Amino acid sequence: MAVSYPYSLPAFADLLKISSIVWDIQRNDELSGSGDGRVWQAELAPPLWTGTVTLADVYNAEAKQIAARIRKLHGAQEALFLYDPLSKYPQADPDGTKLGSAAVSVAALGSDNASLSLKGLPVGYRLTVGDKMQVGYGGARSAFLEVSETVGADGQGVTPVFGVFPHLPVGFAAGLGVTLLLPACKCLVMPGSHNPGTASGPITSGATFKIIQKK
């Protein structure tokens, strides 16, 4: 069977034993300022999610398998899906059982291009600031959004319009399906960032890599 890209969660992310991660944003801005503290900012390109991943100590065979999967990405040629380990489920639904198999989608978009509402949620379902969501759009593209306001679904399972980060991409529209359980970011492993770790006896330690969002 041929290797399939981008790597699905079972093919890569679910196999990782992560000891620590820094999940952050790379802004692509041009800044200028004046001596009185004023700052002007121009966004040259949308911000991108980044992650610095450190893996736990594992047996050599397991470490070799993870390293081989990373090498098979051919540097930055191929992509993978990775979730933030701190945001695998909404904070008010820490094991995903409240949402269950509900089919959630975008109900409407806000006028500011940085907000939306959702439908298809259980009555009273709560989204909390810092929760993440994944939305496929434009064919093979995938948006990874962060909830910026705490909201709850009404009696019809619809939320009010709430803010998200970053801005919604071109091609985003009402009706798109939304993933709230194990939402994942489509990423590339940053060239030169992969350290497969150091083997000592049966254990490999110190394996790390960095990812950056692929639009």
Q: Tell me how many domains the chain contains.
A: 2
CATH number, domain containing residue 55: 3.30.200.190
Question: Strand, coil or helix: what is 92?
Answer: coil
Sequence-ordered list of residues with C-beta below 8 angstroms from that of 194, at least 6 positions apart, any chain: 67, 70, 71, 208, 209
What is the C-alpha separation between 130 and 149, in angstroms, rounded?
8
25 & 62 share domain: yes
Interval 148-172 mean pLDDT? 97
61 and 148 both lie in a single domain: no
> Are 58 and 102 in the same domain?
no
Same domain, 1 and 64: yes
The string of pLDDT tens digits covering residues 76-115 is: 999 999 999 999 999 999 999 999 999 999 999 999 999 9
213 contacts 46 by C-beta, under 8 angstroms: no
Q: Are residues 151 and 139 in the same domain?
A: yes
32 and 61 belong to one structural domain: yes
| Gap between the Cα atoms of 193 and 75, Å rounded | 10
Average pLDDT, the chain: 95
Looking at the DSSP assignment, which residues form a beta bridge with residue 33? 39
Q: How high is the pLDDT of residue 215?
A: 82
Cis peptide before 6 (omega within 30 of 0): yes
pLDDT value at residue 40: 75
Whether residue 37 is predicted with pLDDT greater than 80 in this model: the reply is no
Q: 60 and 91: one domain?
A: no
| pLDDT for res 35 | 65
DSSP 18-62: EEEEEEEEEEEEEEEE-TTS-EEEEEEEEEEEEEEEEEPPEEHHH
Give the CATH number, domain containing residue 95.
Answer: 2.40.30
Give the pLDDT confidence score for residue 30 in this predicted structure: 74
- Domain housing 62: 1-83+184-215
Residue 114 and residue 78 share a domain: no
- Same structural domain, 144 and 172: yes
The answer to whether residues 125 and 69 belong to one domain is no
Whether 127 and 179 share a structural domain: yes
Residue 107 and residue 57 share a domain: no
Interval 156-160 mean pLDDT: 98
Nearest to 160 by CA among 148, 149, 168, 151: 151
